[in-house]
Chains A and B, each alone.
Chain A
Amino acid sequence: MLLELAQAKSADSRSYLKGLDYSVVQQCMHCGLCLPTCPTYDATKLERHSPRGRIALMRSVADGELDATRTFADEMYFCLGCLACMTACPAGVNYAELFEQARAEAEASEVLVSPWRRIIRWVTLKWLFMDHSRLQILGLSMRFYQQVGLQWLIRNSGVLKLLPQRMRELEAMTPSIQPKFSDELIAPRTVPEDSAPRYRVALLTGCAQDLIFSDVNLDTLEVLKKNGCEIVTPTNQPCCGSLHAHNGEWEAAKDLARRQIELFPPESFDAIITNAAGCGSHLKHYSSLLKDDERYCGRAAEWDRKVKDIHEWLVEIEFRVPDESSSERHHVTYHEACHLCHGQKITMQPRQILKAIPGLSLSELPESDWCCGSAGIYNIVQPEMANKLLDRKLSHIDSTGATTVATGNPGCLLHIQNGVRQQGKDLRLAHPVSLLAEAYRRETAKT
């Protein structure tokens, strides 16, 4: 079967960019105001690696002046997709859409194809991330590998030295799998203990989040519970499809979106909560993803309105500030996940939450909204640029003197955590909602 896969032709040979509403490409008037905010332009000073340069290439493809060449495709994958350019763009260019279409174009044109790449993409995008139970099985085997001491043994035995350097680097990046997944920690339905629920919300437990940060899911649940929410958390939730949309797999992304809507009928909730910025940024755009799907487009619009990032929701419902009994001295700095600040324009809410925690002092991080290099799977496929950005982030973190870095996205948490570990720093990484949950817990402990 692997051989078949390796040789399979793409079934998708249309041109995404030529099919695009031309006004989306035309929206860019190439003023250049995006350049200083683009991490890849900043690092290289090459227009090709800038938002307006990439849009110029996309436009050339749409105009038929350029084929979707290998160089074109490489460029689209060199982009972090951090969307800082969208925050900077006065003209309101929808770069997120252009970028996803351009990657789909790159995939459809098959210029990047190699047997290995095809197999890896099929296994991850079309098999693993299409069914959460498969992902959990992978998680279980990794948990076993880590818990029985196999990882310790392998890391200390020197066996790894036999691997090529890149493999060794990747091994070092393997995240710790949580002892329990969200399903094992969270009941399908949770109600507030001491009051009638004011809101009915759904909690999305995510993919990576479920395996690696199920504790953050639990913290999210507890915080919601403390704030008058009845929480519905179905087991075996599908992937939201952001991984697929960002990697040029549109049909799979649409399929996953439909499954989400079926599992979480948006009509029955006041809000659908996500605590992963990368997912949230994608989840809020189902209506444009499903715009040609007559059956789903209406519900998708309702869905988009209901999806809330946890920080956004907590501030919207005026979350309860933990009382002074929970106070504990804590020096924190806040790194803004790109898909929270640029993708969803959520900047004040996480800070508001952190500042509300008694005893917590928040130091502003220089360049807090500059990408850390994680960018989905960017740190795996583009390690050089990802590490450059990580170093830049770590040195800014150093300059604040904080002992905890708070950030609202699993990718950033992992990537920065890896950097911290490599540099042997004593620094804690935490989701803001976990810090809030801890404060609530300290409160209860004392009373």
Chain B
Amino acid sequence: MGLKKQVLEALITLVGDGNVLTRREDLIPYSFDGTAALKQLPGCVVFASSTEEIASILKLANANKIGVVTRGSGTGLSGGSVPSLDAIVLCTVKMDSILEVDEKNLTLLTEPGVTTLKLSQAAEAVGLFYPPDPGSMKISTIGGNVAENSGGLRGLKYGVTRNYVMGMEVVLPQGEVMWLGNKCVKDVAGYSLKDLFVGSEGTLGVITKILLRLIPLPAAKKTMVATFAEMDRAAEAVSAIIAAKIIPCTLEFLDRTTIHCVEDFAKIGLPLDCEALLLMETDGHPAVVAEEAEEMERICQEQGCVELRVAKDAAEGDKLASARRSAFSALARMAPTTILEDATVPRSELATMIRFVDQVAKKYALKIGTFGHMGDGNLHPTFLTDERNTDEIHRVEEAFKEIFDEAIRLGGTITGEHGIGLAKKSFLPSFLGEVQLDVLRKLRAVLDPAGILNPGKMFD
């Protein structure tokens, strides 16, 4: 099949020869994202550099009924930017300028291809703070973060990407451009369409500019690590911290397997002889930080932690957090294929859920490494497997079904922060129910009548 010659020529006229890739060797590296075992060669890859170019590309695709898969750095974990057959991959990484940092209104206006790290550094340079910090923040783009409503380590206290999006410029499939939101803290004019686009996974429009909310940079922070001989004790410690009315900015946990992998990579001296490790961070006013840190320390001791270590300075704290962000990739040291899960439950059900995941792994004879955001109930059980072992992969699928069912039974969700994409598409209908799914379908059809945007993703 492949794209028609006229379409490719038209694309080249729109964005220039160097911005359209068609050679097999150029396309193969765009046939996947950060998700395991999903692969599809696109029809072509196009780099856009302006809203106008994107509008023209969409018009062309819409007129020819060609699928468009918008892509940033391709670090997604649900297959959201894996191409569909013969689709145009619309890559935004060359739209990478921060357009404005407004210190009076505490906002930042950016193009979608800017990396999360770069914009958080731009905010910090003027004493401001952009809290969402997904694991891939060094390379993930803000466009992708908004489209997936990415979370991160600080979700517990600061929320997720959605909580920082004040506005955006969007191009619709027929090429119309609209601005949603503004710099006002209060704005109730009409439906909040920007919120519809946050987490829309590239199915409703292409986001070309983003207005972000910033907050003052916390004056102090303190990072510490506590280890436990049993997972339950760690979970209890988390519950006790929350019950003590402390909301730390980070409350992460790693199980034994994950601890070993992370240490193997980062070599930061994590204690290896334990079943669970909690990484805790509190930030804010120095006096509050000191008080909360002390209280968290006390609680961990009370819960019988084996060892407690406080980072001596911010640099050491950053190293610990950065090591934790590498957890998913580091687990790949253990097995050829790592399939990561994202089931999330209300905080109070966390211990139950962790135990359940363990039982399921045993039942299906699967190797598993679990880590996650304990503070917000967002778990990442990761199966360590081999995609060439069809029998084992089948067991992994069965195990997932059970884990999702249990998460739902406990009042949780099938994905906390990775999105539906292709990876969880088959689980969405039963999770949402017929009525909600029908509303989603109608909404999508209104905005994208020809169905060209990220076809085959999220739901059919």
Contacts and interface: CB of A to CB of B under 8 A. Distances in A.
Interface of A: 22-23, 26-27, 29-33, 35-36, 45-48, 50, 52-54, 56-57, 60, 65-66, 69, 71-72, 75, 89-92
B163 interface: no
B34 interface: yes
Contact of B139 (A29, A33, A46): A33
B74 interface: yes
A26 B337 contact: yes
Contacts of B332: 27, 29, 31, 90-92
Interface in B237-276: 261-262, 264-266
Given A23-B336, A26-B337, A92-B265, A32 B73 contact: yes
Given A27-B332, A30-B33, A75-B25, 18 more contacts: A29-B36, A32-B73, A32-B139, A36-B115, A36-B117, A36-B138, A45-B93, A47-B29, A48-B28, A48-B29, A50-B29, A53-B28, A71-B25, A89-B265, A90-B265, A90-B326, A90-B329, A91-B332
A72 B25 contact: yes
Given A26-B337, A47-B74, A71-B23, A31 B28 contact: no
Interface in B144-200: none
A92 B263 CA distance: 12
B444 interface: no
A32 B266 CA distance: 17
Contacts of A32: 34, 73-75, 136, 139-140
B176 to A, nearest CB: 28
Contacts of B25: 48, 57, 66, 69, 71-72, 75
A35 B73 contact: yes
B94 interface: yes
A72 B27 CA distance: 12
B94 A89 contact: no
Contact of A57 (B29, B140, B262, B333): B29
A24 B34 CA distance: 18
Given A33-B136, A35-B139, A36-B139, A48 B26 contact: yes
B383 interface: no
Contacts of B75: 31-32
Contacts of B33: 30
B30 interface: yes
A56 B115 contact: no
| Max chain A C-beta neighbours (<10 A), residue from B31, B33, B74, B386 | B74
A69 B25 CA distance: 9
B452 interface: no
A48 B23 CA distance: 11
Interface in B307-352: 326-330, 332-333, 336-338
Interface in B70-109: 73-75, 93-94
B29 A53 contact: yes
Interface in B10-41: 21, 23-26, 28-34, 36
8 contacts: A22-B336, A33-B138, A33-B329, A48-B25, A90-B261, A90-B262, A90-B328, A90-B329
B23 A45 contact: no
B329 A31 contact: yes
Contact of A66 (B28, B330, B336): B28
What are the 4 closest A-B residue pairs judged by CB atoms, nearest first? A53-B29, A91-B332, A90-B329, A47-B29
A54 B29 CA distance: 7
Q: Which range contains the number of B residues in contact with the other chain? A: 35 or more
Nearest to A92: B333
Nearest to A65: B28
Nearest to B32: A30
A53 B25 CA distance: 9
Contacts of A90: 261-262, 265-266, 326-330, 332-333
Contact of A56 (B32, B329, B330, B386): B32
| Max chain B C-beta neighbours (<10 A), residue from A47, A53, A91, A92 | A47
A26 B34 CA distance: 13
A26 B336 contact: yes
A47 B30 contact: yes
Contacts of A60: 28
A66 B115 CA distance: 32
A32 B139 CA distance: 7
Contacts of B47: 45
A31 B336 CA distance: 14
B29 A56 contact: yes
A63 B74 CA distance: 22
B333 A29 contact: no
Interface in B196-241: none
Nearest to B327: A90
A26 B338 CA distance: 10
A296 B21 CA distance: 47
A29 B29 contact: no
B210 to A, nearest CB: 19
A32 B31 CA distance: 13
A91 B333 contact: yes
B232 to A, nearest CB: 28
A44 B323 CA distance: 28
Contacts of A45: 47, 93-94
A37 to B, nearest CB: 9
Contacts of A69: 25
Given A23-B336, A50-B29, A91 B330 contact: yes
Contact of B326 (A33, A35, A54): A33
A32 B332 CA distance: 13
Contacts of A52: 29
A45 B140 CA distance: 13
A30 B34 contact: yes
Interface string B56-76: 000000000000000001110
Given A23-B336, A45-B93, A90-B332, A56 B31 contact: yes
B28 A57 contact: yes
Given A36-B138, A71-B23, A91 B329 contact: yes
Contacts of B26: 46, 48
A73 to B, nearest CB: 10
Contacts of B266: 90
B329 A89 contact: yes
B323 to A, nearest CB: 9
Contacts of B93: 45
A53 B23 CA distance: 14
A46 B28 CA distance: 12
A136 to B, nearest CB: 42
Nearest to A71: B25
| Max chain A C-beta neighbours (<10 A), residue from B264, B333, B387 | B333
Contacts of B29: 46-48, 50, 52-54, 56-57
A278 B206 CA distance: 46
Contacts of A65: 28
B140 to A, nearest CB: 8
Contacts of A71: 23, 25
B258 to A, nearest CB: 11
Contacts of A22: 336
B268 to A, nearest CB: 13
Nearest to A345: B267
A31 B30 contact: no
A27 B336 contact: yes
B139 A92 contact: no
Contacts of B329: 29, 31, 33, 89-91
A69 to B, nearest CB: 7
Contacts of B34: 29-32
Contacts of B136: 31-33
Nearest to A89: B329
A388 to B, nearest CB: 16
Contacts of B23: 71
A48 B327 CA distance: 26
Interface string B387-415: 10000000000000000000000000000
